[in-house]
Structure 1
Amino acid sequence: MEHMPPASSAAAPFTPLDFQLVLLRRMADHNPVLVEDARRELGASVADMREANRRWQAMLHSRRARAAVSRYRSVLGEPEATVRRPVGDLTCEALLWPVPLWPDLRFEVLLAPNNAVWNEWLIRAPGAPAPALRTLADLTPWSCTVDEAARAFAPARPLEGTAPTRWRLAFTAPDADTGEPRPCVAEFTWGLLQRVSFPTG
């Protein structure tokens, strides 16, 4: 793929490529090899990824920071789809954008009725087949989203994330070899599975 590094100038537009590098930067702690491969697929350097993350953080914490939904529209353009989604007793609006790195996923921004952003993460694209999740062996990095793991291994219990943009789920899943149920904790970044750990004691 042709190398198109993110511009380093603060005045340059922040592009969808830059945003994908931001997603990858948050995943690098758990899966550096996968992130490196994806970064190369995008034709970006480590410096490009650092700069994209620096600029993103600057946008988030600027005194003149725009509302989250406006920021996403300015970076990603108009959403590919807008979906009405019930959340409890409320009906929310979900904005979906394609993410070229993961063609079967979409980046979703969930808006409350007052237009506040309730959630920002990766979900399965509408109409795309969900992964078959039957045992712990199926829970490989980047294989599924939060909702998919929660449905496959219900009942799953949400846990506090270790950092912003991170989620954790506690559930029991069958061991691939023995079939015995085993308690575990699945960790997600931007809604995408990063790793599974096993509580001790």
Structure 2
Amino acid sequence: ALLNSKYIKLRNVFRTFIFLPYVTASVAVAYCFQSLLDKDYGLVNLFLSWFGVDSIAWLNYPSLARICLSSLVTWRWLGYNMIILLAGLQNIPPELYEVAKIDGATTTQSFFRITLPLMKPMLLFCIILSTIGTFSLFDEPYILTSGGGPMDATLTPVLYLYKVGFNFLHFGVASSIAYVLFIILLILSVFWIKILEEK
């Protein structure tokens, strides 16, 4: 976001492309990634084959499946968080940097003494939303890894709740999981708020 606000030419075009994954339907994104990572016909393996690398079953191994899911989620939410942080950066008065430069502050010092402290509300907002989003992932693991596989490596709390409630018909247990999940997210949100307030 810092680079985007100052140093990149055609910033508006860059912002549009980096924000585009967020406004694309999560189901469509998951199916696209599934096609890209296909062992036999995926573009990722096709690209690797040019360098003599054998086809990899990306979604059949727990560790690789987690990496693929993490990459998908990071790519999809990067633009959303960037827009929030960019809004925070643009609200910082440029006079502060000018005064710091006159006083002999380096770019690094200005970043840690001016930018980061004034960006705390935006950072807090992004952290809380990212935490909630991580716990509530459903579409991506359900489609990309066929319901949280392999070996439940990509099973998220909400996906587990869905399986307990609708696959095993344990609605009481599913409701309890939902309440526990809400309490965990509430505690984590309060924790992050307290941490950033202290700093």
Structure with greater proportional helix content? 2
Query: Is the shorter-chain TM-score for this pair beyond 0.5, marking a shared fold?
Result: no
Q: Which has the higher contact order (CA 8 A, sep 6+)?
A: 2
Q: Rg larger in 1 or in 2?
A: 2
Query: What TM-score results when the alignment is normalised by the length of structure 2?
Result: 0.23
